[in-house]
A and B are shown apart, each in its own frame.
Chain A
Amino acid sequence: MGKYWQVIKNSWSESTAYRLNFILWRVRRVVNLLLVYFLWHAVTAGKNTLFGYNESQILTYVLLSNVVTSFILATKTLDIGDEINSGNLTNYLLKPINYFSLWWAKDAADKALNVFFSILEVVLLIFFLKPQFILQTNVLFLLFFTLSMGLGMILYFYLSVLLGFIGFYSPEVWAPRFVFFVISQFFIGSLFPLDILPKWLYLSLQALPFPYLLFFPLKIYLGQLNVQEISIGIAISLVWIIILKETAVRVWNKGLLDYSAQGR
């Protein structure tokens, strides 16, 4: 456990060594958040409800998405593909560490920093923009919200790791990730709540992992799902986690057999 704690500390040192980079990354996040916030602010202004959301619900959804994405989507695993292609993976194979645990530790450091700043940003935005932010007080919803965030985090970790493992079989690691990024940008619900989509598309998406990375936790927070719907969502998340984890472990074991440390 001590060595992974050291990894976390090293990751923090790395991030604080390139402070301007990190700050500018957060600026990018805030600019994107403002785009979505003001778009929805303009669309819902003067209307009682739109797509089943009132103004305070939709603005809470948008603002809270900044924190939830920082928790679920902040990851360092983007580098895995390049490490395999450059042969740097060898460095880890020679050390007494578990490769998956190593990335969990790096991710933990990254998520902690991002969540801290995202909460700060949201508090500042609430202070300056003064939206009617909904504070959920129902303990059951808060518990399910926390659980769904945890599941979303695990789900995204294995998705991202699997995309990195493409490096075992192809030097082209960024193009598939870019496709994934574009698809997930829309279908996790970061630009709009997914239930504004045509019903057939919305229902089809429920079977995929994307909604459980953002939309599902936020719907729980807003109290718009009943216990049965939450249970189904959690069950689907768990099934995807099992599938993706098993696939990731198998691809890793198979990939190591094919790995030739090319580039070293």
Chain B
Amino acid sequence: MKRFFLLWLKYTLNSFSSAIYSRFGAGLFLFAKLLRFLLFFLFLFILQKSTKALIDYTANQVIFFYLVFNLIDTLTQLLFREVYRFRQKVVRGDFDLDLVQPINPLFKALAGGADLLDLFMLIPSIFLLFYFGAQLTFASFSLFVFLLLFINGLVIATSFHILVLALGVLTTEVDHAIMIYRDLTNVGRVPIDIYQEPIRSFFTFVIPVGIMVTFPPKALFGLLSTPVVLISLLFGVLFFGGSLLLWRYSLTQYASASS
């Protein structure tokens, strides 16, 4: 474990050095991300002023949903930025070099280039989460379930990234699999309950965005029953296991065709 941590630290520092090589570009990217976060927040704020509630949720709850989505999204972008570069590695044949190294290739493909610039994005995100969270009333047990499902959400997000990696190995036709993941998860910027059936079920059980980002706040508000919480956790574990199996399968299909 210590070895993995030291490796991760090394990769991260290298990646950070590379990212700030062009300070102008890094600054612009950071500015744009912050702007996107604030503008969507402004949009929700305007909705809050004009509408008393969105479906059965109060405006503060809707904002809290968005902040939880944003935190999971930012954390995964921070940790798994290397996934965005993976397909090019496969296409160019550079993935061969990772396979011959005494390092778990999944670890390197997943966490081999954390984006420390996203750390700056976490600051407003966490601050606002605490600010709006403090205005909500909830039981301490609900907070515990929230944290449990939040971790479950991170596990599901990790699984999605592993699936994208596996897809990158299995097919070279999908250019932007990671961007498709981003678009699909964007539906979780608002509570998944606003979508009509069967879209709601699709984004809960097929593409489990609902379990990933909507269920943690729902648990905090005391809106999830114990069986649903248990099924969600089981789903997270199975989804993670399934993504690992697909990754292993994809490696057996890797033909190193580009090198």
A residues touching B (Cβ–Cβ < 8 Å)? Answer: 18, 20-21, 24-25, 27-28, 31-32, 34-35, 38-39, 41-43, 47, 50-51, 129, 170-172, 174-176, 178-179, 181-183, 185-186, 191-192, 196-198
Residues in A neighbouring B180, C-beta threshold 8 A: 24, 27-28
In the complex formed, the residue of A with least CB distance to B26 is A175
Q: Given contact pairs A28-B183, A179-B32, enumerate 16 new A-B contacts (beta carbons under 8 Å).
A: A21-B173, A24-B180, A27-B180, A31-B187, A32-B186, A38-B195, A38-B196, A43-B47, A172-B22, A172-B25, A178-B32, A179-B35, A182-B35, A182-B36, A196-B46, A197-B46
One of B25, B43, B194 near A42 (C-beta < 8 A): B194
B28, B50, B186: the one contacting A179 at CB < 8 Å is B28
* Chain B residues within an 8 Å CB radius of A192: 43, 46
> A43 to B51, Cβ gap below 8 A?
yes
Using known A-B contacts A182-B35, A182-B39, A186-B39, determine if residue A24 contacts B176 with beta carbons closer than 8 Å.
yes
Report chain B residues within 8 Å CB of A191: 40, 43
Q: How far is the CA of A129 from the CA of B196 in the complex (A)?
A: 9
Q: Bin the interface of chain B by size.
A: 35 or more
Task: Report the minimal beta-carbon distance from B234 to chain A, rounded to whole angstroms.
Answer: 27
Q: How far is the CB of A154 from chain B (nearest CB, A)?
A: 25
- CB-defined contacts of B161 to chain A, threshold 8 Å: none
Residue on A nearest B22 in the bound complex, by CB: A172
Q: How far is the CA of A42 from the CA of B65 in the complex (A)?
A: 15
Q: Are A20 and B174 in contact (CB under 8 A)?
A: yes
- A179–B43 Cα distance when bound, in Å, is 18
In contact, B25 and A32 (Cβ under 8 angstroms): no
Q: What are the 10 tightest A-B residue pairs by CB atom distance, in nearest-first order? A: A175-B28, A175-B25, A42-B194, A172-B25, A179-B32, A182-B32, A28-B183, A186-B39, A182-B36, A20-B173
- 24 A-B pairs in the complex with CB atoms less than 8 angstroms apart: A21-B176, A24-B176, A24-B180, A25-B176, A28-B176, A31-B186, A31-B187, A34-B187, A35-B189, A43-B51, A51-B50, A129-B196, A172-B22, A172-B25, A174-B25, A175-B24, A175-B25, A175-B28, A175-B29, A175-B32, A176-B28, A186-B43, A192-B43, A197-B46
Tell me whether A31 and B184 are in contact (CB under 8 A).
Answer: yes
Chain A positions within 8 Å of B35 at CB level? 179, 182-183
In the bound complex, residues from chain A placing their C-beta under 8 Å from that of B109 are none
Residue in chain B with minimal CB distance to A30: B183
| A residues less than 8 Å from B46 (CB atoms) | 192, 196-198
Which A residues touch B175, using CB under 8 A?
18, 21, 24
Q: Does B151 contact A (CB under 8 A)?
A: no
Question: A176 to chain B: which residues have CB within 8 Å?
Answer: 28
Which parts of B158-197 form the interface with A (CB within 8 Å)?
173-176, 179-180, 183-184, 186-187, 189-190, 194-196
CA distance A51 to B26 in the complex (A): 38
In the complex, how many angstroms separate the beta carbon of B159 from the nearest chain A beta carbon? 19
Give the complex CA separation of A39 and B186 in angstroms.
12
Among A28, A41, A175, A179, the residue within 8 A (CB) of B194 is A41
B55 in complex: contacting residue of A21, A25, A28, A42, CB < 8 Å? A42
Q: How far is the CA of A24 from the CA of B181 in the complex (A)?
A: 11
- Chain A residues whose CB sits within 8 angstroms of the CB of B43 once the complex forms: 186, 191-192
Q: How far is the CA of A28 from the CA of B39 in the complex (A)?
A: 21
Kindly report which residue of chain B lies nearest to residue A172, judged by CB atoms: B25
- B144 interface residue, CB < 8 Å from A? no
Hey, which chain A residues are within 8 Å of B189, CB to CB? Answer: 35
Q: Which residues of A contact B194 (CB under 8 A)?
A: 38-39, 41-42
Question: Which among B31, B39, B173, B186 is the interface contact of A35 at CB below 8 angstroms?
Answer: B186
> Whole-angstrom distance between the alpha carbons of A107 and B173 in the complex?
23
Judging by beta carbons under 8 Å apart, are B51 and A21 in contact? Answer: no
A178 engages B29 (CB within 8 Å): yes
Shortest beta-carbon distance from A238 to chain B in Å: 28
Q: Residue of A at shortest CB range from B187? A: A35
Find residues 26-81 in chain B having any chain A CB closer than 8 Å to their own CB: 26, 28-29, 31-33, 35-36, 39-40, 43, 46-47, 50-51, 54-55
Residues of B within 8 A of A175 (CB): 22, 24-26, 28-29, 32
Does B199 make an interface contact (CB < 8 A)? yes
- Return A166 CB to nearest CB of chain B, in Å: 11
In the complex, how many angstroms separate the beta carbon of A59 from the nearest chain B beta carbon?
A: 13
Residue of B whose beta carbon sits closest to that of A187: B39
Chain B positions within 8 Å of A20 at CB level: 173-174
| A38–B194 CA distance with the chains assembled, in angstroms | 6
Determine which of B29, B36, B179 lies in contact with A28 in the assembled complex, contact meaning CB atoms within 8 Å: B179
Contacts of A50 in B (CB 8 A): 50-51
B174: chain A residues at CB < 8 Å are 20-21, 24
